[in-house]
Chains A and B, each alone.
Chain A
């Protein structure tokens, strides 16, 4: 393994890091009126990074830096979707940032660092790199939530996020140290081998560590009972930052879970499987039921995230490749849907007006039939109704669960999604059946309009022709040996 090969493997991350530093410096020499230069540089960075990821797609998984990082197809696919989600966040959020004085290099650079953290997490082959990536991502996000200093809510949200996040990181680290103690390695592949052969004493230690690791993963995914931060942070953070927190990090957390649980703790599969069953059921029930009581759209979407992560886990906990690929498809489709949902919320926000209550959606069909239609598609996709991508995603995870004999879980999931359908329907009701309250014009930049439309239509298109993405997930996981 030579140095050049290592660099080539980590090229996307290296480009991203270099560009983020470059933008930070360049921005110092740019005056306020030309801030868009930094913005476009950021977008350019994302495009180049995406190209680097695409260029680095390989036939077989490759490890680099003494086995610390790994580049496989699963990593490539998740990284690409994460990059797309971040780029869309910047496009949709641009106007919002400008109107609130957040259109500055710090926002862009922190975004890039957060993305870097996620990419490191997605592509790591050791507990150490996993943890480093996680912390880089989390710290950037804490700062971004707090950045809007004029308001008390973001500061409060950031504080909650930080304290609970730090606690989760601590638990994770503690769990990792147990696993290290039990298996004698931090390398995921070696832990995997050791976990299959450990004696009863070490196994106990391993399961003990596992509990903490699963808690940490649960926190990062935002599943019940580790969900307490989700609604508050979603509500308090500036909307584009909420979009960021709600989308790409879920992919990173998914990869994180996949690398650790089936990737390295195969030997205690039954233990984490039963833990995930509890998390999944709790999230589906709690997320969907509490979402009904919300009047704030961001809080409602927060509970919807909790519920959706519960469905995602349902595919995951089957502990076989079909289930992982269903869960991965679920995660990706959830990210695409979620980006669009916050995109519409951002579209309706203006200078001095936060679109955050459900009532702000009243009569949208009369103000703008097109955006009402896009939101309609988004809502039905979240509810899992055909012909949207959300249906295929739910179908896949239910199929995976039934396939492994979890029929009762499948029944729980459909009953809770019926409960969920109610609050998604309520948004549609507000948009279509009620009279508009404010006649405020919908002002948005052309690029945001076009991309949001494409985003919304993609949910329909992938719902009708899901095979490319479904197939991609299956292929990626096969190549990555899960």
Chain B
């Protein structure tokens, strides 16, 4: 049972098959192969959840083979409660993305589908790796398909956005490479779990913290290294934005719990005020920035940064509630941001404009769509009974426990989030029909309906009954916090 290997290589092989078989003339063939590959990729991850043992914090579904003996590098995979949910989330989102690009993408369909499938496999690999170099290889290789997706199928300013995205992310991860090699030299092992036990001096811990922080803060992204994200989101095709927001941002946050907190716990405690400050700046300041955006995709991009600020805030409160809240927020944001970008995609496909000013009164012509969009907008602003509420509420509670003013500042997101999301919703959806283009809009097609319906169910289910998600991660979080509480000096 090589479930994790399957989760990685089923999409990659399907992607290669799409490239080989699908040609530009026969796009339908490429689409079907890609869809079958994506669904198969999702199905092989389901047993991960079904057979997951929620009573242990140890790695599960472990596979380990010697890979490059010269450097003692292993092909070592395994998941715990911190990583398993994201493999499922990623495989699920991949299906949606392939489906969402079904008729929208017309040029070079095979390459488009293949890029997403290959990237999906690489992302699963990143979450499942227990070896530093293996992790790094997946983490970096993922940039290549994303670079191509933004650059080939993106908007008018796509080249700038693609290169900016690539170089920004590369800068962080190259420093991480040096840190990984340093840890190998200190421990004679590339196994991440060995590094968790490695004693390190404070000065070393701080340097390592900086190197890892560069890599993951760019990916999350945290203020002030977030500027690549709005550009990348605006220019990327809908599918690209969905994967970026729903999955790759989570990789950065995942890096915090897999690398930074357990490997350099003392530096993490020492620098926690710094990270918390950055997180709060993201929550408040970026929230305000989102308020004034004229472009819908940009607005959602800034709202993503603001929401991810909650995640990093939750991690650095060092409490069960905060960490679990952050993880729940990550999953919820995966659903909600995917849905928000798909909604913008629905409008963009019809009007070829993302500017809020070009819309108005859409509810009159697209009532079904408006209903879905309402639900997702509410979830994005953290309304109770939607998934967005659960994580935010847990983090705010944890923040208030730590310090009232911290909680107070964090809680402003509930106001700001509601303000920018609902104000955008009002301007786009309500009012009189703004122009002839809006009057000519057609409501959701069957494909779009089901796409959004699936996400709506996910958002509501998670909001009403988050227990399954929390159960999966609870033991791992407790273990992580117990580990982080111990000094390594």
Contacts and interface: CB of A to CB of B under 8 A. Distances in A.
B137 A387 contact: yes
Interface string A370-386: 00000010001000011
Nearest to B153: A433
Nearest to B134: A386
Interface residues of A, number: 35
B455 to A, nearest CB: 31
A410 B140 contact: no
Interface string B240-266: 000000000000000000000000000
A467 B141 contact: no
Contacts of A403: 185
Interface in B68-83: 68-71
Contacts of A365: 108, 111, 152
Interface stretch (B142-150, B371-379, B409-417): B142-150
B178 A386 contact: no
B111 A369 contact: yes
A432 interface: yes
Interface in B137-183: 137-138, 140-141, 143-144, 147-148, 151-152, 158-159, 162-163, 166-167, 170-171, 174-175, 177-178, 181-182
Contacts of B138: 386
Interface in A390-413: 391-392, 395-396, 398-399, 402-403, 407, 410-411
Given A369-B111, A391-B137, A410-B178, A399 B151 contact: no
A398 B177 contact: yes
A468 to B, nearest CB: 10
B465 interface: no
A151 interface: no
Contacts of B151: 429, 432-433
A417 interface: yes
B359 interface: no
Main secondary structure of the interface of B (DSSP, over half): helix
A464 B167 CA distance: 23
B67 interface: yes
B174 A414 contact: yes
Contacts of A422: 163, 167
A380 B148 CA distance: 13
Nearest to B154: A433
A415 B171 CA distance: 7
B166 A425 contact: yes
B459 interface: no
A386 B141 contact: yes
A402 B147 contact: no
A435 to B, nearest CB: 11
A90 B184 CA distance: 43
Interface of B: 67-71, 108, 111, 133, 136-138, 140-141, 143-144, 147-148, 151-152, 158-159, 162-163, 166-167, 170-171, 174-175, 177-178, 181-182, 184-185
20 contacts: A380-B144, A385-B144, A386-B136, A387-B137, A392-B68, A395-B177, A395-B181, A402-B178, A402-B185, A407-B182, A410-B181, A411-B178, A414-B175, A414-B178, A417-B174, A421-B167, A421-B170, A425-B166, A425-B167, A471-B70
Given A428-B148, A432-B151, 7 more contacts: A387-B137, A398-B181, A402-B185, A414-B175, A470-B68, A470-B70, A470-B71
